[in-house]
């Protein structure tokens, strides 16, 4: 592989890593707060070719969960921010709380 291709690949990896750090540290909780929710936590269930993210939030006095799926854990995290921001995560009552 040429040095130019290696540099381009490194730049893509760095950009993706920055997206993940921003999504986890700032954006996910921030977009939920804009929607009137507080992030309590999340979990990732990773299988061979898919990932499911479970978001646990509180909205007012209601505990709720929402689900986001994608092909990889990294894509799932970034997709969750975008989906919450656009209101595409259907939150439902948390039956375990």
The CATH classification of domain 3-93, taken from the options 3.40.50, 1.10.3470, 3.30.160, 1.10.8: 3.30.160
Helices 73-85/3-22 angle, 10° precision: 50
Q: Per-residue confidence at 1, pLDDT binned at 50, 70, 90?
A: low
Count H helices, E strands: the chain?
3, 4
Give the residue from 40, 36, 41, 35 showing the smallest Cα distance to 87: 35
**Would you state the pLDDT for residue 87?**
92
Average pLDDT over residues 73-96: 93
Q: Per-residue confidence at 71, pLDDT binned at 50, 70, 90?
A: very high
pLDDT tens for residues 15-65?
Answer: 877 777 777 777 888 999 999 999 999 999 999 899 999 999 999 999 999
Sheet strands (E) in 1-97: 38-47, 50-59, 62-70, 92-93
Sorted by where each begins, the domain ranges of the chain are 3-93
pLDDT at position 69 over 90:
yes
Give the Cα separation of 66 and 69 in Å (integer). 10
Select the more confidently predicted residue: 1 or 3: 3
């Amino acid at each position: 592989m040429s040095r130019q291709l290696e540099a381009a690949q490194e730049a893509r990896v760095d950009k993706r890593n920055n997206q993940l750090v921003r999504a986890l540290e700032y954006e996910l909780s921030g977009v939920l707060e804009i929607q009137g929710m507080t992030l309590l936590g999340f979990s990732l269930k990773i299988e061979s070719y898919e990932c499911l993210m479970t978001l646990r939030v509180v909205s007012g006095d209601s505990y709720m969960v929402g689900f986001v799926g994608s092909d990889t854990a990294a894509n799932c995290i970034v997709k969750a921010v975008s989906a919450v921001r656009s209101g595409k995560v259907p939150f439902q009552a948390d039956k375990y709380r």
